[in-house]
């Protein structure tokens, strides 16, 4: 007998979700004009933490909420085609990407039975505030994103509170 589909649980949950689905009429544009870059950390609920729901904001996620070329590419599309006028860069406390250096992460992956990843950069930081400021500056200095309002924040993962950094 073939192995069960490893996605059987999520497909079953989706069938229930689809049965009650009523978001088909939403616009693709971000209704609140906000784009949020935030960490992939599964403890974070980016819409609810800002008082938003589906349709309100564009959410971009990666490890550590770092501004990469792909984030800039996505923000340019969001800015001109999808209604985004304000961008929030949100890193968070107790983030794995802010807990140590690159070597720590390479070592942890190896210890977990993974491959040698030393040819990759994971964009870790040991100074999270400086990283937020740098990433906000990266967005602001993109010639394609001039006149976009950008703010930098750190989310306290224990209290749920946002602190404005810049």
Cβ-contact 98, 125 below 8 angstroms? yes
Least spacing, CB of residue 157 vs Zn ion, in Å: 8
**Mask for 51-90, x = binds Zn ion (CB under 5 A):** ----------------------------------------
Choose between 50 and 145: whose C-beta lies nearer to Zn ion: 50
Rule CB under 5 A: is residue 139 a binding residue for Zn ion?
no
Instruction: Kindly state whether residue 37 participates in binding Zn ion, applying the rule CB under 5 A.
Output: no
Among 32, 34, 41, 78, which residue interacts with Zn ion (rule: CB under 5 A)?
A: 41
**Beta strand 162-164 with 149-155: parallel, antiparallel or unpaired?**
antiparallel
* Smallest distance from Zn ion to CB 4, Å: 32
Which position among 34, 39, 60, 136 is part of the footprint of Zn ion (CB under 5 A)? Answer: 39
DSSP one-letter string for 110-162 = HHTT----TTS-----S-HHHHHHHHHHHHHT-GGGTT-EEEEEEE-TTT--E
> In the complex with Zn ion, which residue's Cβ is closer, 39 or 154?
39
Q: At its nearest, how many Å lie between Zn ion and the CB of residue 64?
A: 6
Give the C-alpha separation, 160 to 166, whole Å.
18
Could you tell me if 40 and 91 are in contact, meaning their C-beta atoms sit under 8 angstroms apart? no
């Amino acid at each position: 007998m073939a192995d069960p589909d490893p996605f059987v649980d999520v497909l079953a949950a989706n069938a229930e979700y689809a049965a009650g689905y009523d978001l088909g009429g939403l616009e693709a544009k971000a209704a609140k004009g906000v784009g949020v870059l935030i960490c992939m950390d599964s403890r974070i609920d980016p819409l609810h933490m800002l008082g938003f729901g589906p349709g309100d904001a564009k959410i971009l996620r990666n490890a550590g909420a770092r501004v990469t070329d792909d984030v800039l590419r996505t923000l340019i599309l969001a800015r001109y085609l999808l209604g985004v006028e304000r961008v929030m860069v949100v890193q968070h406390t107790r983030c794995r990407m802010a807990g140590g250096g690159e070597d720590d992460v390479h070592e942890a992956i190896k210890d977990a039975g993974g491959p040698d990843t030393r040819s990759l950069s994971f964009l870790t930081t040991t100074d999270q505030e400086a990283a937020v400021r740098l990433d906000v500056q990266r967005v602001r200095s993109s010639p394609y994103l001039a006149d976009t309002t950008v703010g930098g924040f750190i989310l306290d993962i224990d209290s749920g509170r946002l602190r404005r950094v810049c």
